[in-house]
Structure 1
Amino acid sequence: MSNNDTFLAVFLGSKTSANMAAWNALPEAERRAREQRGMAAWKAWVEKHQAALVAMGGPLGKTKKVDSSGIADIANEMGAFTVVRAGSHEAAAKMFEDHPHFTIFPGERIEIMPVLPIPGG
């Protein structure tokens, strides 16, 4: 999938963070207003970076872990993902500076990593 210009961005935030506690403590009308402002800002971000989007991605649901012990429900901090193209890892990261995930919504961070070719593939 990559010739080292493709990057996965994972949106992270803890359900027990101070950001989430403050968000949940907002009066419902204020939280809804922030949600609307946040979605408008997110759509503006998408429009600005449309040419770089490989996969819009989306919100992530509950997690199941599969290992040699079987299948189990677990929790993690992943909330959403998107895939972008950029000239460098730094350029990909710069796309997410001041993103509404953490400037408006209670998300904590976005981690960006290159999608590498499959070894020997």
Structure 2
Amino acid sequence: MPRFLAVYTMRPENVARFRQMPEAEQAAVDAAGVPAWVAWEARHAAAILDRGGMVGKTRRVTKDGVAEAVNEICGYVVVEAEDIDAAAYLFENHPHFAIFPGDAVEIMPFVTD
């Protein structure tokens, strides 16, 4: 079955805005979001090949060397599905953006084994 990389994205300003919220408000979002995320993973366990995880600050390596970089990637998961549309539908109303301040989940097929 085809495999897909799903990349969670979040704009840096949304991360900053979330971190500026009072701790009680952040905790309330976490209290709603974490169980919803766990439930999402349970519902789609058969399709999840690699739970992936959330990621932190970025370093970019080019022919000119290593430098700090900023992008919207904040995590990933690897899923399998019949096609890219089926993979995308796994993420409808995902807690990443339905509860947490995430922006989107971008789905792309692996083209190599």
TM-score, normalised with respect to structure 2: 0.92
Structure 1: gaps spanning 5 or more residues: none
1:28 aligns with 2:34: no
Alignment-mate amino acid for residue 98 of structure 1? N
Deviation by residue 1:72-119 (Cα, 9 ceiling, x = unmatched): 11111100000000001000000000000001000001100001126x
Q: 2 CA distance for matches of 1:95 and 1:16?
A: 27
1:44 aligns with 2:39: yes
Q: 2 CA distance for matches of 1:64 and 1:72?
A: 6
Q: 2 CA distance for matches of 1:114 and 1:46?
A: 20
Task: State the partner residue of 1:15.
Answer: 12
From 53, 56, 63, give the equivalent of 1:61.
Answer: 56
The answer to whether the Cα contact below 8 Å between 1:20 and 1:106 also exists between their aligned partners in 2 is no
Q: 1 CA distance for matches of 2:72 and 2:56?
A: 11
Provide the alpha-carbon RMSD of the alignment. 1.6
Task: State the partner residue of 1:103.
Answer: 98
Alignment-mate amino acid for residue 106 of structure 1? P
Change (3 A) 1:94 1:20: farther
1:94 aligns with 2:71: no
Q: 2 CA distance for matches of 1:64 and 1:28?
A: 29
Q: Specify the SS of the correspondent of 1:98.
A: coil
Larger radius of gyration: 1
1:27 is displaced (CA, Å) by 2.9
Alignment-mate amino acid for residue 66 of structure 1? V
Structure 2: gaps spanning 5 or more residues: none
Task: State the partner residue of 1:6.
Answer: 3
The percent identity for this pair of structures is 42
